[in-house]
């Protein structure tokens, strides 16, 4: 027969670990609700308590531990704490599962790259851009292993890489990335908002950097009709503004009048492109 006292100890350890996991999951869920509601300071407190609960377990679940650290990084980023966000993401890679979750690791690498790009913008040094490019490359390798799974997140990563190329003034890389983004954006698994941003960035690049306004008009008049009804007004206005500039450059008065009227109907200011951190719990199909 087994030792009753020892059996009781094992059972108590199991109950303790189960309770800690339940507390961590509950705190993480509360934090997520607050973060999405635009209250990152309060959310961070719940994520911190989730980590404290996991800290009482000898071997916490790597996926859960990594996800909470990612969430804490998102709140730090929302509050402008780039160094704090970076620390959480690096730690997330250290504690997360090494196998079985390529998409989660790809998202973390991409988020690290975004943080490095923003740090580069603040510091105006190449060091952070070099780090960003290494992280983007690691993310791409992992995403490509599982495509078309998470293709929406992959497209978001490609769009983030355009920013890094633009900061370097690397027009050849911007050309390759924006062209690839429009190809990926045609996939049915891509969210309309991301597809529209890809088309808008490509159209803007063709006009501004290649002086091909007719190519911009051809691309956008082909792709926008299916995308605009599914996208928010600010993003729609931004896309139409790019098309309007190109239409004006081609000297097409009918298209200029039509696009101008559409923009006036929206009555909003065009949204601006910005780097986006990905959320492991909100992956694309």
| Cβ 230 vs Cβ 265: under 8 Å | no
d(CA 274, CA 201): 11
d(CA 154, CA 67): 18
DSSP 8-state secondary structure symbol assigned to residue 271: P
Q: What are phi and psi of 93, to 5 degrees?
A: -65, -35
Tell me, yes or no, whether 69 and 147 share the same domain.
Answer: no
Measure the N-to-C terminal CA separation of the chain; round to a whole number of Å: 51
CATH of the domain at 176: 1.25.40.10
pLDDT at 25: 87
Tell me, yes or no, whether 237 and 123 share the same domain.
Answer: yes
3 within domain boundaries:
no
User: Residue 57, Cβ neighbours under 10 Å: how many?
Assistant: 18
User: Helices 126-146 and 151-168 sit at what angle, rounded to 10 degrees?
Assistant: 160
* Residue whose tokens read 């997140």: 153
What six digits make up the tokens of 209?
A: 């950097």
| Cβ 51 vs Cβ 69: under 8 Å | yes
What is the domain extent for residue 22? 8-98
d(CA 38, CA 43): 9
Domain-ending residue, one of 63, 98, 133: 98
d(CA 246, CA 221): 11
d(CA 230, CA 193): 7
Tell me, yes or no, whether 125 and 252 share the same domain.
Answer: yes
Tell me, yes or no, whether 106 and 208 share the same domain.
Answer: yes
Tell me, yes or no, whether 164 and 263 share the same domain.
Answer: yes
pTM above 0.75, yes or no: yes
Domain-ending residue, one of 98, 130, 145: 98
Tell me, yes or no, whether 65 and 130 share the same domain.
Answer: no
pLDDT per residue of the chain (285 residues) written in tens, 0 to 9: 444 444 444 334 444 455 777 888 899 999 999 998 999 999 999 999 999 998 888 788 888 888 899 999 999 999 999 999 999 999 999 988 776 789 999 999 999 999 999 999 998 888 999 999 999 999 999 999 999 999 999 999 999 999 999 999 999 999 999 999 999 999 999 999 999 999 999 999 999 999 999 999 999 999 999 999 999 999 999 999 999 999 999 999 999 999 999 999 997 776 665 666 777 755 443
């Amino acid at each position: 027969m087994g030792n009753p006292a020892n059996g009781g100890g094992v059972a108590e350890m199991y109950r303790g670990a189960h309770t800690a996991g339940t507390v961590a999951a509950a705190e993480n869920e509360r934090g997520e609700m607050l973060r999405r509601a635009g209250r990152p300071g309060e959310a961070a407190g719940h994520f911190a308590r989730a980590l404290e609960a996991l800290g009482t377990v000898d071997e916490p679940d790597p996926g859960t531990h990594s996800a909470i650290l990612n969430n804490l990084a998102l709140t730090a980023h929302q509050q402008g704490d780039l160094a704090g966000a970076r620390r959480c993401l690096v730690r997330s890679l250290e504690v997360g599962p090494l196998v079985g979750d390529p998409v989660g690791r790809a998202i973390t690498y991409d988020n690290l790259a975004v943080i490095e790009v923003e740090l580069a913008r603040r510091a105006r040094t190449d060091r952070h851009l070099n780090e960003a490019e290494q992280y983007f490359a690691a993310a791409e390798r992992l995403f490509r292993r599982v495509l078309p799974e998470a293709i929406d997140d992959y497209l978001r990563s490609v769009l983030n890489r355009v920013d890094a190329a633009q900061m370097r003034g690397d027009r050849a890389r911007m050309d390759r990335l924006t062209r690839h983004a429009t190809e990926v954006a045609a996939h049915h698994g891509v969210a309309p908002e991301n597809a529209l941003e890809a088309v808008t960035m490509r159209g803007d690049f063709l006009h501004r950097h290649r002086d091909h306004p007719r190519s911009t008009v051809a691309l956008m008049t082909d792709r926008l009709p299916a995308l605009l009804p599914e996208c928010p007004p600010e993003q729609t206005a931004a896309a139409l503004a790019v098309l309007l500039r190109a239409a004006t450059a081609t000297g097409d008065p009918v298209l200029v009048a039509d696009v101008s009227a559409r923009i006036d109907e929206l009555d909003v200011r065009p949204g601006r492109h910005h780097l986006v951190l990905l959320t492991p719990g909100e992956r694309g199909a």
